[in-house]
Chains A and B, each alone.
Chain A
Amino acid sequence: MMLRITRSAFEVLVRHAEKAFPEECCGCLSSPEAEGPVTTAHPCTNIQNRLHEEDPKMHPRTARDAYHLDERELFRIQQELDDTGRHLRGIFHSHPNEESYFSAEDKRRALCDDEPLWPDAHYLIASIRGGRLATAKSFTWSPAQKDFIEEPMEVLADDA
């Protein structure tokens, strides 16, 4: 697997991540084709602070340490993509002042009985330091290794 994403889509998610700093951001990635490059980043609301306020025992983390993508927004995005024949291809989120790697919590929340909730998804993680992008890496589920592994990522010119 390899994530290919257009420059404009990449810049949208970077702006979202930098604006959310020092909190984590999240969103979705889509494309017109099931296999082609990601052409759109959909910034979404991280509702982790709300979950924490409602039930701090169940949700001990705040948005500084975690993300939970607003499910109503996800519903609307998926519905819009289905209506227009486009495809949800991946998920992005940020790690403020941390490296871009697939953390234990990322893995715990992406699995259900050791199987991925979103098989075939690209998980792009942006490391934001001091409010600016440091690095961005993409990960995907490896059925052979039973783990999320880093995959190559290429940012494409929009007219490519």
Chain B
Amino acid sequence: MAVKVNIPTMLRNYSNGQPSVLVEGTTVGEVLQNLDQSCAGIKERLLDKDGRVRRFINIYVDSEDIRLLRDLETPVASAKEIRIMPAIAGGRPGFASPCAVLRSP
């Protein structure tokens, strides 16, 4: 069974510019493994070396974050689409990190 995987614009260099691809799989984990066949290299951006979803990557089945479902075991049989969204965050300079505070006398 194939499910539609939406690729965010800024990761479409992995999908030859395609906004979405159809990928076979019964769970999110299987779909992400198979996604690498049509989007070579994207898996490494999404999963760490232990095969877990990277901390700053969010994956949604329809509109639900998979971390609130069954993570990579989330079934996709009834899903309309999977969406990949890297987190967006940052901060200004001049902040004393907790490590620096702990090291200070």
A interface residue numbers (CB < 8 A to B): 24, 26, 28, 34, 48, 57, 60-61, 65-69, 71, 74-75, 78-79, 81-82, 87-89, 91, 93, 95-96, 98, 101, 103-110, 112-113, 115, 117-121
* Inter-chain contacts of B56 with A (CB < 8 A): 109, 112, 117
| Residue pair A88, B10 in contact (C-beta under 8 Å) | yes
Query: How far is B89's CA from A67's CA once the two chains are assembled, in angstroms?
Result: 5
- Further 17 A-B residue pairs, CB within 8 A, beyond A79-B83, A101-B93: A28-B88, A34-B9, A65-B92, A68-B88, A69-B88, A69-B89, A74-B85, A87-B9, A89-B10, A91-B88, A95-B93, A98-B92, A105-B95, A107-B90, A117-B57, A120-B13, A121-B10
| Residue pair B93, A104 in contact (C-beta under 8 Å) | yes
Query: How far is B88's CA from A103's CA once the two chains are assembled, in angstroms?
Result: 14
A-B pair count, CB < 8 Å, reads 109
Q: Which residue of B9, B54, B90 has the most chain A CB atoms within 10 A of its CB atom?
A: B90
* A interface: dominant SS: mixed
| Residue pair A115, B45 in contact (C-beta under 8 Å) | yes
Q: List 10 A-B contacts (CB under 8 A).
A: A66-B90, A66-B92, A66-B95, A75-B58, A75-B60, A79-B83, A87-B9, A93-B90, A105-B93, A117-B45
* Inter-chain contacts of A98 with B (CB < 8 A): 92-94
Query: How far is B83's CA from A68's CA once the two chains are assembled, in angstroms?
Result: 19
B interface residue numbers (CB < 8 A to A): 6, 8-11, 13, 17, 19-20, 44-45, 54, 56-58, 60, 63, 65, 83, 85-95, 97-98
Q: How close is A41's CB to chain B, nearest CB, in angstroms?
A: 14
Query: How far is B10's CA from A118's CA once the two chains are assembled, in angstroms?
Result: 5
Q: Which of B11, B20, B94 contacts A119 (CB 8 A)?
A: B11
* Inter-chain contacts of B85 with A (CB < 8 A): 71, 74-75, 78
Q: How close is A100's CB to chain B, nearest CB, in angstroms?
A: 10
- With A61-B95, A103-B93, A115-B45 in contact, do A74 and B88 touch (Cβ < 8 Å)? yes
| Residue pair B83, A65 in contact (C-beta under 8 Å) | no
Q: Which residue of A lies closest to B94 (CB)?
A: A98
| Residue pair B92, A68 in contact (C-beta under 8 Å) | no
